[in-house]
Amino acid sequence: GESVGLHLPTLSVQEGDNSIINCAYSNSASDYFIWYKQESGKGPQFIIDIRSNMDKRQGQRVTVLLNKTVKHLSLQIAATQPGDSAVYFCAENINSNYQLIWGAGTKLIIKP
């Protein structure tokens, strides 16, 4: 079965607030993690990635946190905007084999 999964299928956030999307994984050999954003009618787009030798990485308005002890990954979006509405996927790579294993996705809804 899938080793990557999400806690919440849908997340509603007030515009301007911070969003936190969570992801759990089960394989200790996972060495790379990546977050993608998929807007309606489009293919997934890269947001941010992190290697297993790191516990935090920041981008523009986004931060990914990795807790290897509990095998948990989160994506934080600061000051959520209407354009952030999408489905967010986490994916992992195991043993550097360049194949991504995808979670089921979380739909982020922005409330005005």
Partner 1 sequence: DADVTQTPRNRITKTGKRIMLECSQTKGHDRMYWYRQDPGLGLRLIYYSFDVKDINKGEISDGYSVSRQAQAKFSLSLESAIPNQTALYFCATSDKSSYEQYFGPGTRLTVT
* Residues that bind partner 1 in the complex, under the rule CB under 8 A: 2, 4, 9, 32, 34, 41-46, 49, 89, 91, 93, 98-100, 102-105
Per-residue 3-state assignment (H helix, E strand, C coil) for the chain: CCCEECCCCEEEEECCCCEEEEEEECCCCEEEEEEEEECCCCCCEEEEEEECCCCEEECCCEEEEEECCCCEEEEEECCCCHHHCEEEEEEEEECCCCCEEECCCEEEEEEC
Rounded to a whole number of angstroms, the minimum distance from the CB of residue 78 to partner 1 is: 22
CB nearer partner 1, residue 19 or residue 30: 30
Rounded to a whole number of angstroms, the minimum distance from the CB of residue 7 to partner 1 is: 14
CB nearer partner 1, residue 52 or residue 63: 52
